[in-house]
Amino acid sequence: MRVSTLKATDPVAANRIHPNDQRKISQYLHLYTSSSVLPSRYLQDKAMTIGIAYSSIT
CA angle 8, 12, 14 (to 5 degrees): 60
pLDDT tens for 1-26 read 799 999 999 999 999 999 999 999 99
**Do 10 and 28 meet the contact criterion of CB atoms below 8 Å apart?**
yes
Note the pLDDT of residue 3: 92
**SS3 breakdown of the chain: % helix, strand, coil, rounded to 5?**
80, 0, 20
Q: In the chain, where are the structural domains located?
A: 2-57
Rounded distance between C-alpha atoms, residue 4 and residue 29, angstroms = 11
Note the pLDDT of residue 58: 46
Helix (H), strand (E), coil (C) string for 25-38: HHHHHHHHHHHCCC
Verdict on whether the full-model pTM lies above 0.85: no
pLDDT band of 56, cuts 50, 70, 90? low
pLDDT tens for 38-55 read 999 998 888 888 776 555
